[in-house]
Structure 1
């Protein structure tokens, strides 16, 4: 019998007249470990709200757990940001698999909004570190006087959506990542060894400090 794929169902609204949508989040540890974020309906989620969504959907201590998984990897790794002529950003993580360099995970952002993505858990910390640097979350709203208010996220802990198979958008995104061919010389520069920190903790602390200083 195939497993039921259960997603946290998070309706969100930015303001009474602002954009709104519904984002589904799933942390999968059955076989390969994946983190899925699915823009199910309405507007795509603003990138700056991703941290708030994870605080709702993921277990307490999720940042530390993701960093631990990242540091337990056994091969070299490298991150890269590609920007298209239209301004779309793609955050990639490359690693080694069976002595071959591959693109392991990707996250795309356009118009400051997150596209549906499915990434390996061990790749999450380094990719979020880059994302938070470009689209800083509001960690301390009382210090962010000149920024838009954080959205109102409405969420019930027993509110989930269940699928008999992975949503097509999730599978399409995984297949697209697998189709990316890494350059042969991808690891000649900017490479990190297994066990090195992602820097996500330091990035979060720096953003919090900036919020206080800019108050």
Structure 2
């Protein structure tokens, strides 16, 4: 029974998210109310809030996964691999796999248009970027056994997350320009390669996991 209940909860959550996203893409984020989402999904407003505490959560459904992803990659880095190399490798793999979270998806321009059309969503996205950088800095500090007053983990985290943000910005600009996904992916990979060549040895070698 527990498994069935959890499956139903996941289905309800996904249904609410799909209904909300359809309305946001059609009318814009600010023009849609939670009550309208509830009505379209045929549930109560309270049900929507039970699954999504804020309206922004309906649009940015994978926030926690987004925030945690770079840190998780550092913790799972391979023997002999540094923190930066693990993050760059993960980004390259996501681009090669056309992972939706990178922006390499059909109709991504609609998502970008809605996000940029709402100051509320833009503020939330900026907060997510800040949280991601903070989380990564904490992970780097732990993995490198850095002292509490060492600023290097914070600075390297900011450096790497600014790069990740630039890669995502590239996907958004290309989507708005109507560029083919293959062209967008190639440009994103070229930027990653260039960024890696420009990295200092201190950044590129930080928190390198011992071999074996």
> Normalising by the residue count of structure 2, what TM-score does the alignment of the two structures yield?
0.28
Higher percent of residues as strand: 1
Higher percent of residues as helix: 2
> Normalising by the residue count of structure 1, what TM-score does the alignment of the two structures yield?
0.28
Larger radius of gyration: 2
